[in-house]
Each structure stands twice: as structure tokens, then as C-alpha cells.
Amino acid sequence: MPTPMNVFRLFCSQTVVAGTPATALQYAASSTNTAEIVSFCVTQSGIQTSSNEEIAFIRKTGGATVTAATTGTGSTASLVALGAVATAPKCSIGTTATGINATSEGTNGNELYSMAFSDLAGAQYAFLPEERLWIPPSGILALRLNAKMAATWLVQLVVAEYG
């Protein structure tokens, strides 16, 4: 397995309408890089009643309309370098590229991974290297949350970039 050029955390706080699937995070590789999802985490602190929620990773054939990711090191940045050397991200950043909190879903392709989880416990998963979700050049992958309970969710992806 090649060594990643960059490792980034893509993060958002998303208020979800109950029963309406919504893209929380979207990563778009540029035409010259590939990437893979290393891990994700979804949690909330407002719901007090147990319910099963669902997340899914969707390969997009047309990007969702999102708020473009912001880079940096501060608490307001949504795309933060995790490596010792903070280089610029290789991904495409924009309103139909890498970003957060979709207002329109775009076009869904294949569902690559999904799981149900308890909203009281949240979900966290680190993919084994051989099961990581790969994003090809110019590919788009979205983490979609389908919550049964309206809440503000904290959603995070760790993405390794190559190329």
C-alpha cells in the first residue's frame, strides 16, 4: 500500500430533519489524485431517547450542492491536515465538490457502505486497509445521514489522499 501524501479530517455540524436523508460530508478527488476513507465518526448530544439511525457512503455521479470546505488549523475550518506536514489538500473544493451540509443531493450512484447505529451511542469505525472506500480521480463520495430523530449531528471523515 502506498504512503498517503496527505491525511485530512473533514468535519461538520449538521442539523438534520427527521426522516430526510441528507449528505453531511462530501469528498471530491481532483483529476490528479485518488483518496480513501480511513475512518468516520457520527455523534450527537441532544437526543435522550434511543432510536436506530442510518449512515451510508454513496458514490455520487453528480455532486450534491454543499457549503465548500474551508481549510486551515482553526476550529472553524472544516478540512484540517492531520499529518506532521500540513500541505494543501489535493481534492477539489467547491459547492459541488468537497464540502459540508448539502442543500441539494445531486445524483446518487452506488451505495458502497451503510450501517445502522444507536443515536445514543453514535457510530465510529476505522476501516481495515483492505476495506477502505476508494475514491478515483475526479470521483465523489458522500456520507449521507438518514436520521429518524431531528438533531444536530457532529460528523467526521478521515481521508488519506494519494497522488
Q: What is the CATH number of the domain that holds 56?
A: 2.60.120
Residue 1 lies inside a defined structural domain of this protein:
no
Residue 55 lies inside a defined structural domain of this protein:
yes
Q: What is the pLDDT of residues 25-82, one digit of tens each?
A: 999 999 999 999 999 999 987 888 888 889 999 999 999 999 999 987 666 678 988 8
Residue 57 lies inside a defined structural domain of this protein:
yes
Whole-model pTM: value is 0.92
Task: Please state the rounded mean pLDDT for residues 144-163.
Answer: 89
| 52: number of Cβ within 10 Å | 11
In total, how many domains does the chain have?
A: 1
Q: Which residues pair with 37 in a beta bridge?
A: 133, 159
Residue 127 lies inside a defined structural domain of this protein:
yes
Domain that holds residue 12: 6-162
Residue 120 lies inside a defined structural domain of this protein:
yes
Listed residue (34, 29, 55) closest to 113, CA to CA: 55
